[in-house]
Amino acid sequence: MKTLLCSISLMLVGIAGAAPDKNPSDYPLAAHLVSAVFTHTTAPSNKRTTEMRIGNLIYVTDDICKWAEVGKDYPARLDGKKIHLLIGQEKVCSYRVVGTREAQP
């Protein structure tokens, strides 16, 4: 019984921790979406790439978010190897960073 309760409480903590934070003050950076490319090949080798500029760096990710539009700026936050964008007031898009490069002036 004790093990079952511990398992349930761990699952609840995991679910609560997975909920995206939608408070605009938690997104202090501005990210400009430079490009989003989806190359359709035979599964599972489909390729998704998004590039966004934050400050003087271009972040390359291996994800695409259907709500984010290329050419627009979004509030953002960096969390280790992840970038989170706040889309409007109700959606959060998360990207896994796979590389960076310096932006051209």
In a domain, 50, yes or no: yes
Give, in order, the Cα–Cα distances in Å from 68 to each of 12, 33, 36, 95, 99: 29, 8, 9, 11, 20
What is the spatial distance between Cα 52 and Cα 65, in angstroms, rounded to a whole number? 12
In a domain, 51, yes or no: yes
In a domain, 13, yes or no: no
Helix (H) or strand (E) holding 18: helix 2-18
Number of structural domains found in the chain: 1
pLDDT values of the chain reduced to their tens digit, one per residue, 105 residues: 444 333 433 333 333 344 457 888 999 999 999 999 988 777 677 788 999 999 999 999 999 999 999 999 999 999 999 999 999 988 999 999 999 999 987
Whole-number pLDDT of residue 20: 54
Beta-carbon count within 10 A of 72 CB: 11
In a domain, 3, yes or no: no
Whole-number pLDDT of residue 18: 40
Write out the residue range of the structural domain in which residue 90 sits: 22-102
pLDDT tens digits, 33-58: 999 998 877 767 778 899 999 999 99
In a domain, 27, yes or no: yes
Residue 79: strand pairing partners: 82
In a domain, 63, yes or no: yes
